[in-house]
Structure 1
Amino acid sequence: MAIPPNPDARFHIEVIKLLLQVATSDDRVTREEIDQIIDTARGFSVSLTELSALTRCLQEGKPLPPPNLGLLSDNPKAVIDAVHSLIAGDGQVDEAEIEMMRQIRELLGIAP
């Protein structure tokens, strides 16, 4: 019998997927953003296999897999904190990033 996946691990992978979406929202990904995402993934103990599969999409110019908003809505504060850290991490806040944060808050049911 297969062991069901750890719900926290699934949640963390979905956060990383969302962070990659945010990082690419302004059509450029900075080294600081990549470093922040990698640090977050390590802090969440996201497997190297999962992280490599996601970053390969960026390297090959393929569409990123969409995050599962149902899972993300289980802990919206953690999601918003991770997104805020990413956006603020490079010292530049782009209009597209602000709009992405607004949309994420709306999708997660968080009032502005």
Structure 2
Amino acid sequence: MAYDWDDMRVFLAVARAESLSGAGKKLKLDPATVGRRIARLEDRLGAALFAKSVQGYVLNSEGERLLAHAMRAETALAQGTEELHGQAGQLSGVVRIGAPDGSANYLLPQV
């Protein structure tokens, strides 16, 4: 069976936000699209993943089981991406140094 990682991202967003609208805002998707993606995932898996109510979407037991696996997959994918980009465990960002004029002219050109 072919799996769509985008559907899993939608599943994770709904599980975290507990609503279609909250997940839609996070993913920049229309809530109706989020609902269709969840329905498609549930159909592919042959199991309901959420208890749906007017208060929102709450994971049921099947959803809880999938959530654990999906979170591990998300972490592994992020770590793999960082590793490929050579950023695993490395700092990145901008460094700003402030110094008086005399020190800056004498010391900083060497840096």
State the TM-score, normalizing by the size of structure 2: 0.35
The answer to which structure has the higher strand fraction is 2
Give 1 or 2 for the bigger CA radius of gyration. Answer: 2
State the TM-score, normalizing by the size of structure 1: 0.35
